[in-house]
Every structure is written in C-alpha cells, then in structure tokens.
C-alpha cells in the first residue's frame, strides 16, 4: 500500500516504516514541522519517499495515517482527497490529554469515519473519544541489543526540553535524585539544566546524542531513572529496558503496565525510589539481574514485529471496510 504519513515523532516512525508499505512523507523547503521529510538521524529504508505538497495529487494513496489535528486539512488541500471519506484514514494519538480526563474531548470525537489509534491503554481511557472508533497499538521498538554494562555508577535520564516542560517531565525532581546518584541527562534542550537546578556539572551532565550513540552512553550508566509525571509512555523508557537497564520510575500513566515486578522499581513514593537507586548503585549484580528481566519483559511486549503486525491488520481492515 501507499501510506501518507508525516514525520512527527522520529522514534515511533522509525518502527512504523520498517513495514512492507511505501510511506509517502511530505517535505517542504526548510524542512519545517509540516515537511520534515526523511529522517537524518535514523536508518530508514528506501520505501520511505519524500513528496512535495504539489506532487501528492498525482500519487495513489491507499491510507492516510494522521497524527495532528491540522493534518486533516493539509491532507485534503495537498492531495485533493478528504481523509476518511475519499481515502481511508486513521489518527494516531501519541499523547495523554493535556487537560483533566473528565474535560478533555478528543479533536476527532465527533467523527465516526476515522478511528483513533492510541499508543497506550491509559491514553484511550483518559481521552474522551466521543463516537470515534478506537484501538490501541502499543509501541514497537527496534531491539538495540543487550548493551548494558553499568560501568558508571550514574543514573541515566532521557528527556527533551526539560527546562520548558518542567513538572510534566519531573524536572523539579532531578535535584533531589542528584543527591542520591550522579545524573546523565540526555535529550534536546538540556543545556543549562545543571545551573537551573543549582547542581555541580559533574552531578548533572547533559548531552544531546544521535540514537546509536545515545544507546551506548545510556548503557554505561548503572540504571535508568524515569521521573515523568504526565506524558505518554516514553519510548526512551522502553529502549532502556531493551538495553538491559534496571528501571526506577514514577508509577504514572502507562509505566505500571510497561515495567512488571522484578524489572525495576515503580512507585510514587520518592523515598522508595531513592532507596532503589541506592540499591542498584551499591549492588551491580542486582542491577544486572534486574536489567535482564527488564529486557525480557520489553522484548515480549514491545517488539517491532508485533507492532508491525498490529498496524498491518488495522490498515488493511480500514482499506477494505
């Protein structure tokens, strides 16, 4: 099939494009948010083709995979076809609702011709989906391998724009955790984080690395710390588990589903989490065994083949409906 899909979330799309279909990815001069084109930091197959908006009217499109509300308008304007009416379409909801669960109505809640595909069961539960059909297709992760060494007695944290996102991503908690373990914080927009938190730079090192380098740098840390209060299930958490890292995480959103007992410590009690961090720093063998269980759990539930099979069934159902 020919699938129209925008480059919005690079890690998620990297798994999606491993499937058997041709992905038509819009590209604009300057490669802004509505036209990023092919990824430059991920390895995508040749079946991912960049298309300029003016070229879309001449392309066969079997299904549209939308990820942001305004893409409905862009898809119609650029292709000349209405999503869900002239061409089958699905809408991927990557995020937890920003407002309260009882008051957040999904932008597609009044339509019944475009299914909303949530990436976690928690998200589907919290959004008011109205009369829109819904499904859940959990994340798929390309296995980076069991790279964990735990050689450095530090905690890895992965978060983009921690200064802007603040309490949402638990940035305010990092100062407290830095008193228990030195932190390596990876991600975009992390510059100046140590100064913002009032921490010495050796207690809070920050780096923005390409994915291949990121995985190896994470895996040198003894454990993965996930202090996120309210976002969708972070792919970085699952990637850490695939690497074989023990996990210490807040018991929020979908984390309690993703990290089973024995694969790490999940709690909303900060003293419990701090004690878990100290335990992994002190006992490297304990960290190794826990990380092995985390890796086994992640491979069993979040493998890329299961993800691609789920998407294959859903898209074919929509095309033939």
SS3 of the chain: CEEEECCCCHHHHHHHCCCCCEEEEEECCCCCCCCECCCCCCCCCCCEEEECHHHHHHCCCCEEEECCCCHHHHHHHHHCCCECCCECEEEEECCCCCCCHHHCECCCCCCCCCCEEECCHHHHHHCECCCCCEEECCCCECCCCCCCCCCEEEEEEECCCHHHHHHHHCHHHHHHHHCCCEEEEECCCCCCHHHHHCCCHHHEEEECCCHHHHHHHHHCEEEEEECCCCCCCCHHHHHHHHHCCCEEECCCCCHHHHCCCCCEEECCCHHHHHHHHHHHHHCHHHHHHHHHHHHHHHHHHCEHHHHHHHHHHHHHHHHHC
Residue 72, pLDDT score? 98
* pLDDT at residue number 211: 81
Q: What angle do CA 310, 312, 314 make, to 5 degrees?
A: 70
Would you state the pLDDT for residue 310? 97
- Token output for 276: 């878990």
What are the tokens at 68?
Answer: 């942001």
Residue environment code for 261-283, b if the CB has 16+ CB neighbours within 10 A, otherwise e: eebbbbeeeeeebbebbebbbee
pLDDT of residue 277: 98
- State residue 65's pLDDT score: 98
Walk along the chain (321 residues) and give the pLDDT tens digit of each residue: 999 999 999 999 999 999 999 999 999 999 999 999 998 878 899 999 999 999 999 999 999 999 999 999 999 999 999 999 999 999 999 999 987 777 899 999 999 999 999 999 999 999 999 999 999 999 999 999 999 999 999 999 999 999 999 999 999 999 999 999 999 999 999 999 999 999 999 999 999 998 879 999 999 999 999 999 998 998 999 999 999 999 999 999 999 999 999 999 999 999 999 999 999 999 999 999 999 999 999 999 999 999 999 999 999 988 887
The DSSP bridge partners found for residue 170 are none
């Amino acid at each position: 099939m020919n699938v129209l899909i925008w480059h919005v979330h690079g890690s998620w799309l990297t798994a999606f494009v491993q499937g058997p279909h041709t992905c038509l990815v819009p590209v604009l001069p300057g490669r802004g948010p509505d036209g990023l084109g092919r990824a430059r930091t991920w390895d995508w197959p040749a079946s991912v083709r960049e298309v300029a908006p003016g070229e879309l009217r001449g392309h066969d499109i079997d299904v549209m995979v939308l990820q942001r509300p305004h893409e409905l308008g862009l898809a119609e304007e650029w292709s000349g076809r209405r999503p869900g009416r002239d061409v089958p379409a699905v809408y991927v909801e990557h995020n937890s609702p920003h407002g309260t669960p009882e008051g957040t109505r999904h932008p597609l809640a009044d339509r019944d011709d475009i299914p909303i595909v949530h990436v976690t069961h928690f998200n589907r539960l919290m959004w008011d989906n109205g009369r829109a059909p819904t499904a859940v297709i959990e994340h798929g992760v390309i296995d980076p391998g069991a790279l964990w060494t735990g050689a450095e007695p530090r905690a890895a944290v992965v978060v983009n724009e921690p200064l802007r996102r603040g309490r949402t991503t638990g940035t305010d908690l990092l100062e407290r955790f830095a008193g228990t373990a030195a932190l390596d914080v990876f991600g975009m927009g992390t510059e100046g984080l140590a100064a913002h938190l009032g921490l010495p730079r050796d207690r809070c090192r920050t780096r923005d690395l390409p994915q291949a380098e990121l995985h190896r740098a994470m895996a040198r840390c003894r454990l993965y710390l996930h202090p996120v209060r309210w976002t969708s299930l972070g792919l970085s958490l699952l990637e850490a588990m695939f690497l074989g890292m023990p996990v210490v995480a807040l018991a929020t959103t979908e984390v309690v589903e993703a990290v089973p007992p024995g694969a790490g410590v999940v709690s909303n009690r900060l003293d419990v989490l701090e004690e878990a961090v100290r335990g992994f720093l002190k006992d490297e063998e304990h960290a190794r065994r826990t990380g092995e269980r985390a890796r086994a759990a992640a491979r069993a539930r979040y493998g890329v083949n299961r993800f691609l099979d789920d998407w294959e069934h859903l898209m074919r159902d929509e095309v033939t409906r």
